Amino acid sequence: MPIYVYEVILPEEPDEDGEMPEPQVFEVMQSMSDEPLTKHPTSGLPVRRVITAPSIMGQYSDHKMSQSVKDDKKLDQLGLTKYVKAGGGYYEKRSGAGPDVISGNDV
């Protein structure tokens, strides 16, 4: 089931101190067929659903891609070369074909 983000609808006037109140944001796991909430589950204050970017945890998600880039053996099997900054403008090869060391001046 998807997780939906809601925020409490606050009055648009400042409080006694002249500060604008911060809206309370919370998450609710709901079925896609459920109606959106109109009131906060505990306080009863009016709420609205917030549109957010979906979180996709598939083969090409940021999480999976960052794991595959860390695996030097896998990069080597895919025919990719990985260089890591060694300092002083030099980069050392960690996987793949190519020179063992390159410098920023080589580019």
Sheet holding 90-95, edge to edge: 82-87, 90-95, 101-103
pLDDT tens digits, 24-48: 899 999 998 999 999 999 989 999 9
Task: Kindly write down the DSSP assignment for every residue of 33-64, as one continuous string.
Answer: TSPPPSB-TTT--BEEEEP------STTSHHH
Q: How many CB atoms lie within 10 A of CB 92?
A: 14
pTM above 0.85, yes or no: no
pLDDT tens digits, 83-100: 888 888 889 998 888 899
